[in-house]
Structure formats: C-alpha cells, structure tokens
Amino acid sequence: MNIIISSISAGITGFESPANGYIQKALSFDDLLVEHPSATFIGVAQGESMIGSGIFDGDILIIDRQVTAQTGDIVVANFNGEFVCKILDLKNKVLISSNDKNQPVPIHKCDEFSIEGVVTRSIRCHRKSPLLQL
C-alpha cells in the first residue's frame, strides 16, 4: 500500500500549493503498528470498561509481550483465568478500568495473575470484519 504524506502550511502571504508537500511512500501496516513481530499478538476488545482510554467494544488491540509493563500502561492480563484489558497500577497492586462504572480490582497474592502483554496500539473498525468474528 502506498500513502501520500502531505505537509500543509500557511505562508505569510497566503497558502502554498498543497501539491508542493506531497511525498509518496510505501507503507506496511505491520511496520507501522508492530514493533516486535515475534512477540506481538492481536486481540479484540469486549465491553465498555476501557472507553475512557479510547478503547471501545470490538476495537482491535495490538499487544506486545516484549514491552515491560509499567504503572499506567494498558495491559492484557490473565486474572483468575479470565483475559482482561486494564490499566496497571503496580504500586497499589490494582487493575483499573477507564470507565467510572467499574471499581479498581485489587490483585491479591492468592489471585492467579500474569501480564500477557502491553497494549501498544488500538484500532477502531467502523465496519465489523468477518475475519474477527469468533
């Protein structure tokens, strides 16, 4: 796929021709979205718990296992046998939703908990893709 990158600026005396800034480059979505191909997987968001972070039901999540999770990162984690997408708070040992309807979930020593990866990107599809249907 090729894209056209356009830089449009207004000069003091008026607008330059938009054609002056066009540069055509080849673009691979893999190169754009995936930093660590062998450590990256894709998930589909379900529910409304992350809408405050711009992640909506049906959005595609790019999840990188090579990135070290830090406080404030959006992660996909296995929490007591369920895959969840939440904001990680390592200091307080809680998983936080970005929807005020959901309370933070404490991570106790007795919980089964593992971070599966850090959400590095999310993509919103305006039409449902048959490729993403389970």
**pLDDT above 90 (res 13):** no
Looking at residue 126, what is its pLDDT?
86
Give the model's confidence band at 65: pLDDT under 50 very low, under 70 low, under 90 confident, else very high: very high
Give the model's confidence band at 73: pLDDT under 50 very low, under 70 low, under 90 confident, else very high: very high
| Active-site residue, selected from the candidate residues 25, 86, 97, 114 | 86
pTM above 0.85, yes or no: no
Catalytic, 91? Answer no
Mean pLDDT is lowest, of 16-25, 64-73, 89-98, 103-112, for 16-25
Catalytic, 86? Answer yes
Each residue's pLDDT tens digit, 33-54: 999 999 999 999 999 999 999 9
| Active-site residue, selected from the candidate residues 38, 49, 93, 109 | 49
Give CA–CA dist 79/120, Å, rounded: 20
Domains present along the chain, CATH in parentheses: 36-126 (2.10.109.10)
**What is the bridge-based pairing of β-strands 40-44 and 74-79?**
unpaired
Would you give the DSSP letter of residue 28? Answer: -
Give CA–CA dist 51/86, Å, rounded: 11
**Mean pLDDT computed over every residue of the chain:** 86
Q: What is the mean pLDDT of residues 68-84?
A: 97
- Strand blocks (E) in the chain: 2-5, 10-11, 14-15, 23-26, 40-44, 60-64, 74-79, 82-89, 94-96, 105-106, 113-123
**pLDDT above 90 (res 7):** no
Looking at residue 97, what is its pLDDT?
97
Looking at residue 20, what is its pLDDT?
58
